[in-house]
Structure 1
Amino acid sequence: MRILLTRDSVAAGDDADAPHGATVDLPDGLDLPAALTALGLPRPRLPLIGGGRATWVVRDADGSPLAVLAQQWPGPRLLPAGREPLAGAAEPGAAVRLHVEYRRQRDPDAEYELLARPAR
């Protein structure tokens, strides 16, 4: 499975190579937590933020939030859409597009709760 990964910049000096893209081939059939680990998310791919607190949201190609990552957490917290098979986020034979959105030093628990709420 081919992953096209991008991430937000975290500061003006980080903009030089934005959108920080990478193309990574992973074994087929990985679930999202295994894929995030294989992609180096949150570490080492995401920059460390001074103060030890940073919140990130992993989104698929249509912008659906899949997981919340936090610099201070040991691993991702999956959102409802992130529990679906990862390969389902792409057209047959196409790459899976993932974007990691920087949510600054917002409370990751609050961000998770906000994103996990059912749409009305």
Structure 2
Amino acid sequence: MTVKVVLTRDSVCMGDDCHAPHRQDVTFHDAVTLGEFVARVAGYPLRMRGARWVMFLGWNRAEGTPIAEISPEWESPRLMVGADPLTPLVSLAPADGDLSFFFQYQAGSIL
């Protein structure tokens, strides 16, 4: 069994807007955990010096739940408090659709 995941992200400049909405559809095996998934998709947002990305479970940041923070300046993504890395990814998927994650851009990394 597999789970389909839809990734989207903020644009970071006007030139990047030309390629919006930056949607990427990926499929994962149902045995993948949230921690493994976050590590695998950490390269999806643009890797810019001084950038930090907040990953939300949901179509957008307003309706989503923050799951992790990602920065190219860090060794690995940082899960938010309450995000259990051992949670099966498939358990987060809604019964009526695909699993969605949104990446919000924030200038400046917090070390």
Please indicate, yes or no, whether the TM-score normalized by the shorter chain is above 0.5.
yes
Select the structure that is richer in strand. Answer: 2
Work out the CA distance in 1 between the residues paired with 2:40 and 2:110: 22
Unaligned runs of 5+ in 1: 110-120
TM-score, length of structure 2 as denominator length: 0.80
| Partner in structure 1 of residue 21 of structure 2 | 19
CA separation in 2, counterparts of 1:96 and 1:103? 23
Identical positions, percent? 28
Say which structure is richer in helix: 1
SS of 1:103 mapped into structure 2: strand
Please report how far the alpha carbon of residue 70 of structure 1 lies from its aligned counterpart in structure 2 after TM superposition.
Answer: 1.1
Normalised TM-score (structure 1): 0.75
**Per chain length, whose mean CA-contact separation is higher, i.e. which structure has more relative contact order (CA < 8 Å, sep 6+)?**
2
Equivalent runs, 1:1-120 vs 2, <5 Å: 1-39=3-41, 41=42, 43=43, 45-49=44-48, 52-61=49-58, 62-83=63-84, 84-92=87-95, 94-105=97-108, 107-109=109-111
Q: Over residues 16-55 of structure 1, what are the superposed CA-to-partner deviations in whole Å (9 max), with x where a residue is unaligned? A: 121200110111121223113333x1x2x22232xx2210
Structure 2's unaligned 5+ residue stretches are none
Equivalenced residues, count = 103
Match for residue 116 of structure 1?
none
1:93 CA drift (Å): 5.9
